[in-house]
Structure 1
Amino acid sequence: MQRRVSSNAQTSNSIVDSESSEFDSFSSIITPNVKIGIKPLPLTSALVKSDRTLVESLNSLGYDCVLLPVTNARYKENCKAYFLEFRQRFNGSVPSSSDFTLSTISDVGKLLGSQASDSLGRSDDKIDLVMHDSEVDAPVNESAEAVNHNQNSEENEQKSELDDDDNDYDLNSLMVPHPKLNEINIITGPHIVNTIGLLSSWVELDNESRLINEFSLQVIINEVSYAQYTGISTLLIAPPKNINNLQTYADNLNTILQMYPNIELSISLPICEDTKQDPITGETMPMIDPFSTWDIWNSIRIQCNYNSKLSISLGSPKTNVPQSVVNRWLLEPVRFYLISSYRFIPNSKNYPVLNKFNQLIIWKFIQRKALSPPTLLLHGVDKENMTISSRVPDSTVTSISSSSVTSRGTSGKRNSVIVTVDGKHVSLGDLAYLEYIRYLIAVSYRNNQLLPFENFTLNSFLRLNLRPDQIYSPESLQTPLQPLSSNLDNNTYRIFEQDHAKYETYQKAITAALVDLSNTPRFHHLKGSNAHGSSALPLSTGVDSSQVTDAGSEENSRNCLLKILVVGPGRGPLIERLFSSIRLLDLNLKHIRIVGIEKNTNVMLYLKGRNKDHWNGKVQLYNCDARFWEPSSSQETGFNLIISELLGSFGCNELAPESLDYIAQFCDHQDSVFIPSEFSTFVAPVISPALYSKVIKLYDSAKFDRPFLPLWDEFDMLSSKYARVWTFRHPSRNLGGQKTYNGTRGSFENKHNRRQAHVILKCHRKGTIHGLIGYFSAVLYKDVVLSTCPTGNGPTPRNLVSWLPFYLPIEQPIHLTDEQELSIFIKRECQDGRVWYEWSMEAFMYLLLPGRTSGLRNDSNTDSEMDVDNDGSQVRVRTGVTRIHNAYGSHYSMKLC
């Protein structure tokens, strides 16, 4: 079977038995890798003067990293002067610096002259987001203002004028000066490893003016170049100011990423647009589009071809946001989670705390992304510097030089750190914020937001201490086993056996089946015996195995034997559960015959040892492929109970139907039970940027035409439900007593195991489909179910961890808007001794056309609930389509021989 845990040696060695540790890997998640950073106010940076002193001082207080602007206001003023001089060469006149904001070209004025800046590097630009100015509390509203402002028709006309003027400039001669020594905020030194760079936000990388665009790009390139020289590897960059120009912005970002492939760019965006209040009623108005900021990011990311060096820095929300929005961001490469001091409220003891919804968001991020969690970045905690005076009562004041380290002081209920530099008092922030974030991280394990199987998987990988590049490597994608040609090693078997939930479920089914079989008249004699005298006993009890009567040797009871076959027993966990059920029901083993068929030659040695030492030789073992097994006598036919462990992640992808079809001919046609008795395969369209990013990095021409088993990747269903595509039942009703092969190992009659399905699913939320995720649900016996299908509470049972998801990628992702339909065609094809899958998709939306008496209405099997107006009709319009993947099994198939 295909398990949730990796079968490669590295992963196998990492997972220890959960019973050997006090920490429950299923109920909680450890979060050892969470870092806390700070973004000091520009005023704070200017007062301390030395970036090394500032970073080392904050680091000594407990901050892991510090966000600092690469350049200061002097560099902006220098660039502004150069820009004016450059324009003067072609225009013949030079507007003064004070008159620049009154330029007839308003965009140029906003770009270079609208900010009243001082030598401390402060900015009052209200358009930029939270991390790029001193207005730390309005990321969402500022973005909205920017959008509205740039959609103004008058400004569009002015832009048109500027575009016409672009032809008059020789952009080849535009060379923005590099920053000088007094224009940079960061110098080289050992503190760089704890420093994050902040790029200038006053430029406009999305401006359609070729002059402004080129000028802005050169400014940013100069800053990136210098940051890379100092050793900084991560830079935050402001978002686009005009969402209508995302292509221009993305093109510039892509240029930077290609020029500096070792630099990571992180775009700062709000997590969601803020809710607004009705100005008349005061009631909260519903969000127009809760995914609007995600949509901006998604467009940029796609245009940059899923570049692994492009990430997101999310701003924490003012108010609660829909859970679907949080779940969407959990799929994305969130590098920083920005927490403004204005998001905190005082508790009863006047200490700053976050609202419950912000606590939950943080816990979800650091738990779900425990392998590589975002840095929690505080800002605004040093806002005291805005009003601090030369006299600071009741606080510990420490004079520092450029190389000294600050100390902390406590004043009443606050815990502020005040230092003096050249006689000026400087606050490094209230430590109450830092201590509270530490507290949230510390209690995260008591506020678990994950499902048991998610906890187990993440804890398993955390023990590996993998680097991020290993976590996100394409090599973490596994290829499904070729079940008839692959043999597992001993350590992999051991790991698989840790899934106690699976084997407990199997035992419930086995027990229920044995109860029903023993209640039939022909097997009444099984009940009421002394289990201790007839069960499988270890040799340590003193019972000689040669004295145990072999049921097959008793001619009188031969026709009354209950015959049980275990197909693919591995190291024997199913056989152990079988004996447990027999003991529990007090059945007489003298009238039970047990046969096991295992194809793995290596594990047979272990099985024989278990049979001798623990099962008292009661199991007849055969080493062969179950499809070619031939009974040595009539005693080995007429099986009443057939137990198998052949289910794959997709249900049928490890060829369980083909293996069990052959065995069916040796069953008792009067009383026989298969465990599992049937299983169904389900699919759902998913959004998964992480999975898609890994697949496109593979050096394999067939990478989009074969399935993968992701060890751990974020994905989310876009449809309102998952769809059943086919079902297999055992014994198969289509066999008609015919053998499934023609007497040789090279030819199988397998057409009855072909399947195909066409299903239509409704997708309520916008998103990008990156492929299909497959699940299975197996009826082991009657109402005993084993299922990997997500139910909101995880699989069934909840602690089930054996199977990885089954990912079928698509080469060209499909973007959906709200309330669209997705048509999925998938088939299981069998021919020429092979089995393979083919899949394709189409996306549709409905348009309401007034005045039509009839429309093109889809009548297929669908969960759509479209209502047709009396005065109009709906037309189903195709908006996206994929090719048929893996046509005729040309790239991937499972061999039957």
Structure 2
Amino acid sequence: MSDSQDAGRSVTLGLMCGGNGKVEDAQVALDDAIEAGYSFMVTQLVRYPRAGGKGSGASSSRSSSGGVVSAAVPEGLTHSDLVLRDLQNANCFVGIIGDWLDLAYSGAQVGGEDVKHSAAELKRELEWAIYLGLPAVLLNSLPDSASALAHLAMLTVDSFHTIQLQFRNLWVRLSVDSNEDLRKFATFLTLAAPVSSFVGVLLELTPELPDAGMLARWRGEPVRGVLVPTSLFVKNKAGYPVLLRAHQAFVKSMIEIGAQIIVQTTDGTPASEAAAYAEYVEHLASTMEPSPVGGYEDELQAPLQPLQDNLESTTYETFERDAPKYKLYRKAVRRALADLPDNLSVPGQEPKAPYVVMVLGGGRGPLVAASLAAAVEAGRAIKVYCVEKNPSALLTLQMRAEAEWGGLVEVIGSDMRAWQPTELADIIVSELLGSFGDNELSPECLDGAQRLLKPGGISIPASYTSYAAPISAHKLHTELQRTTSSSPSVEINMQTPYVVYFSNVHVLDAPLPVFTFDHPNADIAAGGMADNTRFTSLSFTLPHDATIHGFAGYFDCVLYKDVVMSINPESHTPDMYSWFPIYFPILEPIHGKAGEPVELHIWRKTTTSKVWYEWAFTSPVPTRVHNPKGTSSHIGL
């Protein structure tokens, strides 16, 4: 399936003809659809010779195009690959399956003929889809009864495993305004857990959309496509079909998470007449803001290990592009310098020494440059010590010191915790924060470096606070379940935090503060020992029925007084992308009801060699404590 892109966001367009997707000639319909601007079609996969869906026993028959179906066609199927004429086009079809399934039976009939027949037919249809090379199949509905839903899940898991997992994309059609559909889907995913990562939603829009809260829920679900009936379009003044604003906004939100848009025409409307709808959806996508992260949406990344590993030049370069961050640092240093006692010389006396600014963890020098610029703005003379342990970054710093910084900067190759200076700092400046604030060991580093600061000296940052909120994130959860022989086990994956730019994620309540660290550390200043272990309990409320897949982590930071930077969604610094949120997964999803409390417990633990987090939910359903003793993930000291 190909993408169309004018500007803004890319979107993949599909076409479904009529209420059941039935077409007389699949190849002709596809040709017309492509001509009209679509990339694929949703259509019936098979036809049966008589109602009820059970095979006739014939080994051959006539296809709708007049071609002879070979004896290899499963018994009872009368819609063959010969209709396509060119199997290279098979990847342009999503096949509708299972409309014939007899799922209204009770648990007492598990061993009955209906169940056996259903299992056999579903397996045959999936095998047929594999043979044709279809990228996905669609189930138009889920059964109502719990028993039937369980049987369908059993058939799905059994069929996927029986065909050796060659086929991995099952779409389920749900209505955007149906709580019941979403409830059944959540149950189905739980029952079909072994293959749930390959189950997605085709979300059908309705004339009246539900409230904003319910619409937001879909951002956390595995929405593969959005079905937009042409009956929802209205004509604008120029006579072109357009969607109402509410539908426009929701379609855009689904395009943001990568959902494909499928236009469903009315019965009898040929594919060739659907071009205007494709043009409109493409135009809608072209008006959207481009992705701010260039394709990194929902990509799981391991947090940095800054004390154990030396960063690559490309990583430094990425950080240095974040202009808003360094503008805030420059402002903070300028304010701090202005607040220090005047160091201007008195006429007739020796000039006072310049202020001492220590940049701890200098990287390739952006904080040094920001500090020097701040000193010029503040009218203060400074001397800068730039401390960096990365041997490769030191070369860059030394070249910049000679070429750019005019003897104002002394480069020190050392771990900040071990360096023994000849003088103390008026201001220390550092950039050691992670996505959860303290998760890259800023507390341990700055506590160890506090001896470098004069009494009454200033630390930039002055403090930082982590935040957490429960999230629904089916895509992230299932991605962690996909392991290979060379990757960590699912148990380890599900107990490891990941940095990720959220897209296909729904945050279920406003983030709450978790841990705060202040610098200079008052305990150390008073002659005591630093203790950076922490524990907190947080209480949230579910705004609606939801599935919880873990929690999101953020931070905000006071650089100096009122100079603040933040990745907390409630106060995010505009256009700052140095930090993505962090995702703490859980082993098993939790299903909760609207209004139920969500209780989350988080520990920060330390030893002399490592720091790690442990976490658990106690409601709506208790979970195990994740990552005990840091066995799955930790940050090395």
In the superposition, the TM-score normalised over structure 1's length comes to 0.63
CA positional deviation for 1:222: 2.6
Query: Where does residue 430 of structure 1 map in the other structure?
Result: 273
Q: Could you report, residue by residue, the CA deviation over 1:313-348 in whole angstroms, capped at 9, with x for unpaired residues?
A: 111121122222232222222222212122222333
Query: Where does residue 197 of structure 1 map in the other structure?
Result: 95
Query: Where does residue 809 of structure 1 map in the other structure?
Result: 585
**Out of 126, 150, 166, which is 1:262 matched to?**
166
Counterpart residue identity of residue 364, structure 2: R
The verdict on how the C-alpha distance between 1:710 and 1:29 changes in structure 2, with shifts beyond 3 A counting, is farther
Is the CA contact 1:598–1:623 (under 8 Å) kept in the aligned structure 2? yes
The verdict on how the C-alpha distance between 1:768 and 1:364 changes in structure 2, with shifts beyond 3 A counting, is same
Q: Could you report, residue by residue, the CA deviation over 1:625-674 in whole angstroms, capped at 9, with x for unpaired residues?
A: 0000101x2xx22x11111101111111111111111222232214x111
Counterpart residue identity of residue 694, structure 1: E
Cα distance in 1 for residues equivalent to 2:102 and 2:120: 11
SS of 1:616's equivalent in the other structure is coil
Is the CA contact 1:478–1:711 (under 8 Å) kept in the aligned structure 2? no
The verdict on how the C-alpha distance between 1:675 and 1:820 changes in structure 2, with shifts beyond 3 A counting, is same
The residue correspondences of 1:327-726 to structure 2 (distance < 5 A) are 327-369=216-258, 373-374=259-260, 376-381=261-266, 383=268, 427-431=270-274, 434-448=275-289, 455-457=291-293, 459-461=294-296, 476-517=299-340, 520=341, 522-525=342-345, 556-557=350-351, 560-587=353-380, 589=381, 592-631=382-421, 633=422, 636-637=423-424, 639-670=425-456, 672-698=457-483, 699-700=488-489, 701-710=491-500, 714-719=504-509, 721-726=510-515
**Out of 249, 259, 262, which is 2:152 matched to?**
249
User: Alignment length, in residue pairs?
Assistant: 606
SS of 1:735's equivalent in the other structure is helix
Provide the aligned C-alpha RMSD in A: 3.0
Query: Where does residue 34 of structure 1 map in the other structure?
Result: 12
Cα distance in 2 for residues equivalent to 1:206 and 1:786: 57
Is the CA contact 2:36–2:273 (under 8 Å) kept in the aligned structure 1? no
Cα distance in 2 for residues equivalent to 1:197 and 1:485: 51
Query: Where does residue 272 of structure 1 map in the other structure?
Result: 177
In the superposition, the TM-score normalised over structure 2's length comes to 0.88
Counterpart residue identity of residue 697, structure 1: R
Is the CA contact 1:205–1:240 (under 8 Å) kept in the aligned structure 2? no
The verdict on how the C-alpha distance between 1:54 and 1:514 changes in structure 2, with shifts beyond 3 A counting, is same
CA positional deviation for 1:200: 4.2
**Out of 622, 627, 633, which is 1:886 matched to?**
627
Query: Where does residue 534 of structure 2 map in the other structure?
Result: 755
SS of 2:591's equivalent in the other structure is strand
Q: Could you report, residue by residue, the CA deviation over 1:586-605 in whole angstroms, capped at 9, with x for unpaired residues?
A: 33x3xx22111111111111
Query: Where does residue 294 of structure 1 map in the other structure?
Result: 182
Cα distance in 1 for residues equivalent to 2:271 and 2:257: 32
The verdict on how the C-alpha distance between 1:771 and 1:428 changes in structure 2, with shifts beyond 3 A counting, is closer
**1:783 pairs with 2:559:** no
The verdict on how the C-alpha distance between 1:770 and 1:61 changes in structure 2, with shifts beyond 3 A counting, is closer
The verdict on how the C-alpha distance between 1:621 and 1:234 changes in structure 2, with shifts beyond 3 A counting, is same
SS of 1:485's equivalent in the other structure is coil
SS of 2:492's equivalent in the other structure is coil
**Out of 136, 153, 157, which is 1:234 matched to?**
136
Cα distance in 2 for residues equivalent to 1:183 and 1:479: 47
Query: Where does residue 69 of structure 2 map in the other structure?
Result: none
Is the CA contact 2:466–2:555 (under 8 Å) kept in the aligned structure 1? yes
CA positional deviation for 1:180: 5.1
Q: State, as a whole percentage, how many aligned pairs show the same letter.
A: 25
Is the CA contact 2:473–2:549 (under 8 Å) kept in the aligned structure 1? yes
SS of 2:156's equivalent in the other structure is helix
Q: Could you report, residue by residue, the CA deviation over 1:406-460 in whole angstroms, capped at 9, with x for unpaired residues?
A: xxxxxxxxxxxxxxxxxxxxx44524xx323323323434344x9xxxx311x25
Cα distance in 1 for residues equivalent to 2:524 and 2:187: 52
The residue correspondences of 1:822-861 to structure 2 (distance < 5 A) are 822-844=598-620
Which has the larger displacement, 197-206 or 360-369? 197-206
Q: Could you report, residue by residue, the CA deviation over 1:195-245 in whole angstroms, capped at 9, with x for unpaired residues?
A: 221224132235334333333333333333223222223211121232433
Q: Could you report, residue by residue, the CA deviation over 1:783-805 in whole angstroms, capped at 9, with x for unpaired residues?
A: 111111111xxx53121101122
**1:71 pairs with 2:46:** yes
* Larger Rg, first or second structure (1 or 2): 1
Cα distance in 2 for residues equivalent to 1:682 and 1:566: 27
Q: Could you report, residue by residue, the CA deviation over 1:674-706 in whole angstroms, capped at 9, with x for unpaired residues?
A: 111011111111111111112222332422332
SS of 1:272's equivalent in the other structure is coil
Counterpart residue identity of residue 184, structure 2: I
Cα distance in 1 for residues equivalent to 2:224 and 2:496: 31
Is the CA contact 1:72–1:120 (under 8 Å) kept in the aligned structure 2? no
Is the CA contact 1:188–1:231 (under 8 Å) kept in the aligned structure 2? no
Higher helix proportion (structure 1 or 2): 1
CA positional deviation for 1:817: 0.9
**1:895 pairs with 2:622:** no
Is the CA contact 1:69–1:185 (under 8 Å) kept in the aligned structure 2? no
Cα distance in 2 for residues equivalent to 1:561 and 1:66: 72
Is the CA contact 1:566–1:596 (under 8 Å) kept in the aligned structure 2? yes
Is the CA contact 2:11–2:285 (under 8 Å) kept in the aligned structure 1? no
Query: Where does residue 23 of structure 2 map in the other structure?
Result: 45
Is the CA contact 1:206–1:248 (under 8 Å) kept in the aligned structure 2? no
Cα distance in 1 for residues equivalent to 2:622 and 2:437: 27
Query: Where does residue 3 of structure 2 map in the other structure?
Result: none
Is the CA contact 1:566–1:642 (under 8 Å) kept in the aligned structure 2? yes
Q: Could you report, residue by residue, the CA deviation over 1:546-605 in whole angstroms, capped at 9, with x for unpaired residues?
A: xxxxxxxxx9445x4311111111111111111222222333x3xx22111111111111
Cα distance in 2 for residues equivalent to 1:201 and 1:44: 12
Cα distance in 1 for residues equivalent to 2:504 and 2:251: 17
Structure 2: which 5+ residue stretches go unaligned? 1-5, 58-62, 66-72
CA positional deviation for 1:272: 1.5
Structure 1: which 5+ residue stretches go unaligned? 1-27, 83-118, 122-175, 274-290, 385-426, 462-470, 530-554, 740-748, 845-879
Is the CA contact 2:32–2:272 (under 8 Å) kept in the aligned structure 1? no
